[in-house]
Structure formats: C-alpha cells, structure tokens
Amino acid sequence: MLHYSIYNHPHNTEWVTFVHGAGGSSSIWFKQVREFRKHYNVLLLDLRGHGNSKPAFKDAFNSKYTFDSITDDIVEVIDKEKIKSSHFVGISLGTILIRNLAEKYPDRVRSMIMGGAIMKLNLRSQVLMKLGIVFKSVIPYMFLYKFFAFIIMPKKNHKQSRLLFANEAKKLYQKEFVRWFRLTSEINPLLRFFRDKDIKIPTLYVMGEEDYLFLPSIKKVVSLHEFSDLFVVKNSGHVVNVEQPEVFNEESLAFLQQPLIRY
C-alpha cells in the first residue's frame, strides 16, 4: 500500500486528497497543508516508487505500469480510511490520475482542482518524449529529468520548482523512473478521451500564465466542458502551487467553499 499521511479536522467531515506528479512526492504540498487543514480533513499520499512509497516486491517482476493500476493504488488508500468521497487536488501528472479516478469511480470524486494540468502533449512535448525513450537506457535518468524539468519550467522564477522536483526525483530508482517515463509516453489516447468527454464533475484548472506547453489546451478544454473553470496565475509557470502558493490556496479554497453544482 502507498505511504500516506492524514490530518483530521475536528468538525468538518469533508476530505481533500492531494496527488503529486511524476518525480515528486507529497512534500510538494507543504505550502498547502497548513491552510487546507484549517477547513478540511486532508490526505497526502506518495505515489508508488515516490517519496516513502518504496517499490513493492511484486512490482519488481511487473515492468508494465498502467494509469488504471496507479489509480487503484489511490483508491486502496481511501478505502482503507473509509473515505466515501473526496475533493481531489493534483499537480502535473497527478491531474491525469485524478481525472482517471473520476472516470472509473465518479461517485468518489466530489470536485477536482487541477494545477499545471496536462490534457494534451503538443508537438514539442511529443518529440521530447520520443528522444527520452531513445536515450533512457544510456543517459543517467537524473540528467533526463533535469533536462525535461528545464524545458517545462525554463524561466528564472521557475527555479524553485525545478530544484524541488529534482531533489525529490533523486529518491527514485533508475528502473522506477524508466517505468514512469514509459507510462507518460503512452498517454495520448487517454488524454484525447479526457478532452472529448465532459465528465460533469466540478473542476477548477489553476494554470500558470507561463505554462506554455499545457495552458493552450486547457483553455480549449474549459471552453468545451460545462462544469470546468480556469484561473490563470500571473508570474507562474507549471508548478503553480509552489511558485504562487498564496494565490493557489486562495482560489482553490474559494472554489471548494462555493455551492457545487453536482451536490
């Protein structure tokens, strides 16, 4: 089972579950926990092979990761804690897992807050992925990771995010990185399905105005999906919760505290 931490609220029964991205860990939410736990029960988890979720013995013989199997890891945790439904907050690749969880188990998802969301890989992203696949066995994974982090977060004000994710990625095993990298290189059909289908769960996309790889596709998705809204954070790149935590927290909590259409 995944490693996770919980913070119980003395009165509120609602839960907020945080899902980090590839190469990160639950520690990237340190600027959110203090504010969110004032209002909600909070669940933080480390995805498989990340943070304190060490690779399971059975996974040593299973080279094929799928989004469904990783999504089910999350469901296993909320089942153990008897959480019937939760709001979900994700960043980067974590938003894909949340969207997949909402597709498979819509009754478990009350709303979604998608920071630095990924809904389409543009041509540049796809070329980078293909290059990564070619060189992943001959180039140290940390070099590849830092290279991709720089491409996604190139500006000077993105440096804190790059360093944070690079430090977390050092905890990954080489084989674990390759599995996750291979997984992310096979997501185009899944993302196309997500773009085409309005899942009708209240969703807030929180995107940095400098997130040039992913913001354009999110603008298009929001224009087509009735239950989706977009907030663009100024002076921020991909990892909005780290670069502009006060804005991220304020907008996310305001979204959660408004009457949600679904319930």
pLDDT score recorded for residue 262? 46
Query: DSSP class of residue 203?
Result: E
In this prediction, residue 131 has a pLDDT band, given cuts at 50, 70 and 90, of low
Q: pLDDT tens across 200-209, in order?
A: 999 999 999 9
Task: Determine the residue type at 164.
Answer: L
Asked if 63 and 97 touch (Cβ cutoff 8 Å), the reply is no
For 201, what's the count of Cα atoms within 13 Å in the CB-facing half-sphere? 25
Strand order in the sheet with 15-19: 4-7, 41-45, 15-19, 86-91, 109-115, 203-208, 228-233
What pLDDT sits at residue 149?
Answer: 65
The mean of the pLDDT values for the chain is 85
pLDDT digits (tens, 9 = 90+) for 145-196: 666 666 666 677 767 776 776 666 666 655 666 676 667 666 888 889 999 9
Q: What is the dihedral of CA 122, 124, 127, 133, to 10 degrees?
A: -80
What six digits make up the tokens of 11? 């009165």
Record the tokens describing residue 35, joined without a space: 């504010």
Tell how far CA 215 is from the center of its chain.
15
Distance (Å, whole) CA 70 – CA 160: 27
State how far the Cα of 52 lies from the Cα of 27, in Å rounded to an integer: 10
Percentage of the chain lying above the pLDDT 70 cut: 73
pTM of the model: 0.85
SS3 262: coil
Q: Residue 137's pLDDT band (boundaries 50, 70, 90)?
A: low
pLDDT of residue 24: 81
Q: Where are the beta strands (DSSP E) in 109-255?
A: 109-115, 203-208, 228-233
Give the β-pairing of 41-45 and 203-208.
Answer: unpaired
